Amino acid sequence: MADRVLVCARTVQALEGAHKDVLKQAGFEIVPSKLDRHLTADELAERLPGMVAVIVGLDEVSQKALDGADILKVISMNGVGLDRIDVEAATDRGIVVTHTPGTNADSVADHTLALILAQARLIPHHDRNVRSGGWTRIAGRELKGRVLGIVGVGHIGKAVALRALAFGMRVQAYDPFPDRAFCSTHGIDVVDLKDILATSDVLSLHCPVTPDTENLINASSIATMKRGAVLINTARGELVDENALIDALASGPLSGAGLDVFTTEPPRESPLWRMEQVVLSPHLGGNTREAVLRTAYQSALNVVAVVRGGKADRVVNPEVLREIRKD
């Protein structure tokens, strides 16, 4: 009987491509979740028995979900963020966790610049105005010479920096573990969090959600930001206290925001919907056909590498892989 792979990530299920071919060629049976949404812990637990691997998106891979696993060897995250996966619980059970850093970096970086440009040139406002029969021309802002602060200088943060530099922006970065060689090569100033908040015209978030970064942008941190700054978030909604952001946009400290992610997705009704200075999109920064296929292919390769004994270099808990291969 073929080893079975549960596929919960919706794009991996829906699209045909090399990702499915590589699994089939390696002798796996693909078992789709058949749900067009993210799975709850209970739904995942019901489907995990008999599965040697699972490919997930933003599904709830909690300790409760993993209680359903009996022969599971690998959780392959179809993306980068691990905030929906209990890595500690997986590690305790001897389950390898993998992800796909870098596969959607260009896509997310493009979308980040799109939000920055939409804010600078008031594109959503002008689009609505012309469609309604208006011809009101409100002056926007050039990007050249403005200061972009990037919080998190990983694959995506670097890609955003290179694009912003091409527009003539001054780029500065904050990261607890910065790539100083990259920053030095490209003339990017490495600063602390206090300085990046106080001096950035545009602040763009590209860091993971951790206990240290959850609600990183809150009432206190917003109070220290440069007056009139714009906040861009294409990372995770949990990085921002949405109520504090709404207050800051309504009362004036911030002049605008571009948001691709939200604390609750899909988001509930919010005052953000009615704010002209806010540009919104439905968590699609990484959703280009090219990035989707690259990510799906890498998530499939990760399954094959772990289960079939190949080179696995995108493992989050390598100690588990070492233990498995030692046996």
Question: Taking each helix axis from N to C terminus, what angle separates 105-120 and 289-308, rounded to the nearest 10 degrees?
Answer: 150
- Give me 209's structure tokens: 């959600």
268 catalytic? Reply is no
Amino acid identity at 202: V
Angle at which helices 123-131 and 105-120 pack, to 10 degrees?
60
Contact status, residue 76 vs residue 55, Cβ threshold 8 Å: yes
Q: Which long-range contacts (CB under 8 A, 24 or more apart) does 32-35 make?
A: 32/7, 33/6, 33/7, 33/8, 35/8
For residue 325, indicate whether it is catalytic: no
CA distance 249 to 269: 17
d(CA 65, CA 70): 11
Among the listed residues 99, 155, 236, 294, the single catalytic one is: 236
- 182, 152 in Cβ contact below 8 A? no
Task: Clarify whether 283 is annotated catalytic.
Answer: yes
Percent helix, strand, coil in the chain, to 5, is: 40, 15, 45
Q: Which of 29, 88, 265, 276 is catalytic?
A: 265
DSSP assignments along 124-138, one per residue: HHHHHHHHTT-----
The DSSP secondary structure of 30-53, one letter per residue, reads EEE---SSPPPHHHHHHH-TT-SE
For residue 168, give both structure tokens: 């003539």
Cα distance between residue 152 and residue 158, in whole Å: 9
Read off the tokens for 136: 């009101």
By annotation, the residues acting in catalysis are 236, 265, 283
